[in-house]
Homo-oligomer: A and B are copies of this chain.
Amino acid sequence: MSTATYTVVGMTCGHCVSAVTEEVAQVPGVSAVDVDLASGGVTVTSDAPVDETAVRAAVEEAGYEVAGA
């Protein structure tokens, strides 16, 4: 079991949360996605560590951005 937490910027409502959750859940290996709208925290759970690039791409696909480099 592996978890990684990202901070996503730009989410403003429950629809945004749904959009991010749905995209990130489609990343291969991801078993659960938990989004906290207030903080922008997105916790990604998987059996093995997931490619961070793929998670960032999924967040961008949803129309948002991961904070930080």
Contact = CB atoms under 8 A, between A and B. Distances in A.
Report whether over half of chain A's contact residues are helix, strand or loop; otherwise say mixed: helix
Nearest to A13: B12
A15 to B, nearest CB: 3
Count of identical protomers in the assembly:
2
A25 interface: no
A69 to B, nearest CB: 25
A38 to B, nearest CB: 13
Given A13-B13, A13-B15, A15-B16, 7 more contacts: A12-B12, A12-B13, A13-B16, A14-B63, A15-B15, A15-B18, A15-B19
Interface of A: 12-16, 18-19, 63
